Amino acid sequence: MLYKVHVEFNRDNIIINGDPISIGIKSKPIKGKANKEIIKKLALHFGVSSSQVIIKSGNKSRQKIVEVLI
């Protein structure tokens, strides 16, 4: 399943009201730390392994397309 994700910094939440998913993270976007936090949060929310969450596009953007393999 593909999802549009909007990232907000200095927050710690996940809001799903259809599309896009709004996710708040605390990590800084340095050396992929922010993307790793996004993957962990989405995996926890959907109840899947972190390896089943893939950022398809937007690795260096606040707007991302994420695939969750269920």
Q: What is the pLDDT of residues 27-58, one digit of tens each?
A: 999 999 999 999 999 999 999 999 999 999 99
Of residues 68, 67, 64, 58, the one with CA closest to residue 22: 64
Q: What span, in angstroms and rounded, lies between the C-alpha atoms of 25 and 46?
A: 17
Percent of the chain with pLDDT over 70: 100
Global pTM value: 0.93
Topology of domain 2-68 in CATH is: Conserved Hypothetical Protein Mth637; Chain: A; (3.30.1200)
| Residue 8 confidence class, pLDDT cut points 50, 70, 90 | very high
Q: What span, in angstroms and rounded, lies between the C-alpha atoms of 29 and 62?
A: 10
